[in-house]
Chains A and B, each alone.
Chain A
């Protein structure tokens, strides 16, 4: 049986600073999605409309080149997938492909924008959590640029 969106949001790092009432508001915008291993959640170039929170499974962010398929990053349980929804009109830069059976909580980006504007405290807390996520990914990218295993 699938857990209620509220319960699934509670454990996600993005929601760590939200109050229970704010999590309830977020849950009202959420739906569940399941992807079988090998299928795409979204493709490079598509409009980035939603925020995805991973409930179970693993997803790879991929990019094709003549050298093959590059996996840029993998994300799994309790990670946020796709940060581009923050900017209306943005498009995904990578393919997101389930590498294992994947359960997602999907939050409609447009309605989330409206909610953040209406409940600015929720908006501030969510943006702070998003900023932390972005900083962590930036630091990880910098560490990989050092290529220290060579």
Chain B
């Protein structure tokens, strides 16, 4: 099948995550679901509105989960889909989180906001293969408590790894249970995590500034740039390295990324024109 031609998929279930974010559980209308790796993305289209890159947020045997935040027209249409609706799927595309490189080492996962979605398949992998890693720490920051994703998974994660959460803003109403996590920027959590910097692989996903600040502090703590991995976002069209929409200097994010090691991209992230 042509990589340019969307394959018809059907929505199997819709899980509401927050006021503006849903997870679509999807499967092909016929045939097997494509084999996706943690960190990869697909081009999803609600017919008639446009096609956008969305990371896989859970990889089940015959289903794929994609967590989508409504920010514009295409994501509005996708987040409005109901169980049984059809959508278009192209992919999988892009590079994966380097799970094999983290085996036997400490693993540090830093997620900011929606950035937890592309990292959830990593955590699923850890849950299923916990003995392959040394210490596993998840540091998760969001804007506010109502934006916290995947609350239903947290208990299981906490049973096998350390999960620390922080929000940037917390306003408590008299009738609400108090927030039990921290308040403040995600980088504040880094010194609280236990890891051996010489033997750690870090995976960071979130808004680009959050990734920059986090990668800078991880490096300052002794982790080499080559062992810090980030997931970049750029506008995409073809997703197969032909149109140049996603160009970042000499990289095409759709082909060379979205997951890239920090040593390759660090100098580019502070260039104003890129």
Interface of A with B (CB < 8 Å)? Answer: 58, 60, 67-74, 76-77, 99, 140, 143-144, 146-150
Q: Does B271 contact A (CB under 8 A)?
A: no
Chain B nearest CB from A12 CB (Å) reads 13
Interface of B with A (CB < 8 Å)? Answer: 112-113, 141-143, 147, 166, 168-174, 178-180, 182-185, 187-188, 192, 206-207, 209-210, 213
B172 touches A149 (CB 8 A): no
B183 touches A148 (CB 8 A): no
B170 touches A150 (CB 8 A): no
12 A-B residue pairings within 8 Å (CB atoms)? A60-B183, A70-B170, A70-B171, A71-B171, A71-B179, A71-B183, A73-B184, A74-B184, A143-B185, A148-B112, A148-B209, A148-B210
One of B172, B187, B192, B210 near A68 (C-beta < 8 A):
B172
Known A-B contacts A58-B182, A149-B142, A149-B147; the reply to A71 vs B170 at CB < 8 A is yes
Residues of A within 8 A of B147 (CB): 149
A99 touches B171 (CB 8 A): no
Cα A99 to Cα B179 in complex, Å, equals 9
Residues of A within 8 A of B174 (CB): 68
Cα A73 to Cα B188 in complex, Å, equals 11
Residues of A within 8 A of B112 (CB): 148-149
Cα A74 to Cα B182 in complex, Å, equals 6
A69 touches B172 (CB 8 A): yes
A73 touches B183 (CB 8 A): yes
Cα A118 to Cα B209 in complex, Å, equals 45
B188 touches A140 (CB 8 A): yes
A144 touches B207 (CB 8 A): no
B187 touches A143 (CB 8 A): yes
Residues of B within 8 A of A72 (CB): 183
A143 touches B192 (CB 8 A): no
Residues of B within 8 A of A146 (CB): 209
Residues of A within 8 A of B213 (CB): 143
Nearest B residue (CB) for A100: B180
B185 touches A150 (CB 8 A): no
Known A-B contacts A148-B207, A148-B210, A149-B147; the reply to A67 vs B184 at CB < 8 A is no
Nearest B residue (CB) for A143: B185
Residues of A within 8 A of B113 (CB): 149
Residues of B within 8 A of A60 (CB): 183
Residues of A within 8 A of B166 (CB): 74
Residues of A within 8 A of B143 (CB): 147, 149-150
B142 touches A76 (CB 8 A): no
A74 touches B183 (CB 8 A): yes
Chain B nearest CB from A123 CB (Å) reads 26
Chain A nearest CB from B167 CB (Å) reads 9
Residues of B within 8 A of A76 (CB): 182, 192
Nearest A residue (CB) for B115: A149
Cα A22 to Cα B182 in complex, Å, equals 32
Cα A71 to Cα B170 in complex, Å, equals 5
Nearest B residue (CB) for A77: B192
Find the residue from B173, B185, B210 having the highest chain A CB count within 10 A: B185
A68 touches B171 (CB 8 A): yes
